[in-house]
Amino acid sequence: MSLAKYKSVQNATEHPRSTEYRLFAQVTRALMEIGDKIDAKAHETLHWNQRMWIALQTDLAADGNQLPDGLKAQLISLATWVDKYTMKVMQRRAPLAPLIQVNRAIMEGLASSAGAA
């Protein structure tokens, strides 16, 4: 089986929480690789993290989202914080570590909810 076929089968059968976890893991790993160097490559990675959070925020605000309203509100608030904080990191006015910590916390939540499902 080709790699493309394998990935299409994986995406068709993978639980949405697992997919979200995998994306968070990829982005978080890339953030960790930045270190203290905020260069063009770091900006690309930071934008990738922002886009992921914007997509999450859009999904949370959709009518069909079935998460409890309180949790949705908290996650949307967190997405807004990530967006604003990322700009500070890009401007070298804030450390990167809190973005990594937030992503890891979300990953822990996704892992525990996937295990419960």
Asked whether residue 27 is assigned to any structural domain, the reply reads yes
Mean pLDDT, rounded, for 80-90: 97
User: Quick one: what percent of the chain has pLDDT higher than 90?
Assistant: 78
CATH value at residue 39: 1.20.120
Residue 66 predicted with pLDDT over 50: yes
Q: Is residue 30 part of a domain?
A: yes
- Tokens for 111, please give them: 């892992």
pTM of the model: 0.83
Residue 58 counted as domain residue: yes
Res 50 pLDDT > 80: yes
CA–CA separation, 85 vs 64, rounded Å? 29
Is residue 61 assigned to a domain? yes
For the chain, list the strands marked E by DSSP.
none
Residue 72 resides in a domain: yes
Q: Are 27 and 103 in contact (CB under 8 A)?
A: yes
The DSSP output letter for 39 is: S
pLDDT, tens only, 23-42: 999 999 999 999 889 999 99
For residues 104-113, one letter each, b for 16 or more C-beta atoms within 10 angstroms of the residue's C-beta and e for the rest, the string is eebbebbeee
**Paired tokens of 86:** 């990322």
What pLDDT does 6 receive? 44
Tell me which residue range forms the domain holding 22: 16-116
Q: How many domains does the chain have?
A: 1
Q: Which amino acid is residue 35, in one-letter code?
A: G
- Give the start-end residues of each E strand in 6-106: none
